[in-house]
Amino acid sequence: MALGRSPQDHALATGELLELDIDAIGGTIERVLGETAEPVHCLHTDTQGTIWITCDDGLYRLPASKSMQALHKVWEQKPGRLPGGGNHDIFSVSCEGRLFMAGGLTRFWGYPTSEWVFDDLFSYNPDSGFWEVASQLSFPRRYSGIAELNGRVWIVGGEGELGARGGEPTTLDVVEIYDPATGAWSMGPTLQQVRTDPFVMVCDERIWAVGGASDPTTKLQSVESIGTGESVWRAGPDLPQPTRQGGCCVMHGVLYCASEDGFFAFDTALGKWDVDVPQPGTIERAPLVTAYKGEVWMMRGLLSHRTRCYYPGSQTWSSGPDLPTQQSWGAAAVLQGRLYITGGAHRSEKYELTVYDDRAWVLR
């Protein structure tokens, strides 16, 4: 008997070619995909959703379903998955030809499974298509903002387990800086305000920390920034309203933040928020956001596949390609001109739980 992973990310097994799944109460669900005349030695599903089968008498393939073919025309699943399993409460940034991502949270760690906050700095190599652990953080942390300044990765705020593993997380004002060239860490200037889930961006050689929360229930409206060579964060103009749990990007000197609280734009040259920036309608919680090809891409978050694209030149919104799943709390970034989404979580009514994702996708 051979085992593999199906295009739907379930177990794939033979005698008959079976896709195996488990329902919310632990029962096994079997779906027959086909039959093989010969004993099967190996099963493999490629990034196009095609199943490959090796037998004594040769190599066979089962083409992907029409829905999988349509998905893979738009998104390419990269072969490398996140080390440690599904991960969310994360952001990513491009630095020195790689993507970096700090910490995060999984719900399915060990056996029996439990929640686990990562203390890893993850790095994605586009040449190999794989994620790896680049270094270790000082302590486990999640919801940390991340940015690149002068070839270094800044990890800003978030929530950290400063005591025993699995203990109550602490909202952080801690800033750590990683140098990919040397692998060395240094401490950055402490934030003026503790912030979990802040919107963190770089514009005109300044790092901006926008909004977030001071505790699980208190959203922040305040803004602070720091520039090259400075030792103290300084206050900036407050957001139009408190906000957290979203994504952000920078384009043409403007900071953009999107969350269920709204879509916000801050012109760094003018030093003020645009209170008239067009809204896209309802924004689902924790969308993935990045700047791509002159537009702000807001990939819609909890319980939604939709993508909305904002073009600042005409101040208009348009529809973009749907996400592979209803992803939220994940990472979005552009590397070498290509748009990547990584990790995150989506709700499965079938399993009656939130599924944490370990996959990376790139827009074709």
- Please give the angle made by the CA atoms of 297, 301 and 307, to the nearest 5 degrees: 35
When pLDDT is averaged across residues 265-279 and rounded to a whole number, the result is 97
CB contact set of 138 (below 8 Å; sequence gap of 6+):
119, 174, 176, 185
**123-160 pLDDT, tens per residue?**
999 999 999 999 999 999 999 999 999 999 999 999 99
Report pLDDT for 4.
80
When pLDDT is averaged across residues 52-58 and rounded to a whole number, the result is 86
Structure tokens at 12: 């794939």
Structure tokens at 44: 């493999």
When pLDDT is averaged across residues 112-121 and rounded to a whole number, the result is 94
**178-192 pLDDT, tens per residue?**
999 999 999 999 999
Sheet strands (E) in 195-299: 199-203, 206-210, 213-215, 218-219, 223-227, 234-236, 246-251, 254-259, 262-267, 272-273, 288-292, 295-299
Question: Is the pLDDT assigned to residue 41 strictly greater than 90?
Answer: no
Least confident of 61-70, 77-86, 167-176: 61-70
H-helix segments, the chain: 66-74
Question: Is the pLDDT assigned to residue 1 strictly greater than 70?
Answer: no
- Please give the angle made by the CA atoms of 190, 195 and 201, to the nearest 5 degrees: 80
Report pLDDT for 9.
77
Percent with pLDDT over 90 in the chain: 71
Question: Is the pLDDT assigned to residue 357 strictly greater than 90?
Answer: yes
pLDDT, greater one: 326 or 25: 326
Sorted by where each begins, the domain ranges of the chain are 3-64, 75-363
Report pLDDT for 49.
85
Which of 2.120.10.80, 3.90.1150.200, 3.30.70.2190, 3.30.70.920 is the CATH number of 75-363? 2.120.10.80
CB 332 within 8 A of CB 340: yes
**192-234 pLDDT, tens per residue?**
999 999 999 999 999 999 999 999 889 999 999 999 999 999 9
At residue 15 the predicted structure's pLDDT band, cuts being 50, 70 and 90, is: low
At residue 295 the predicted structure's pLDDT band, cuts being 50, 70 and 90, is: very high
Question: Is the pLDDT assigned to residue 24 strictly greater than 70?
Answer: no
Start-to-end CA span in the chain (Å): 35
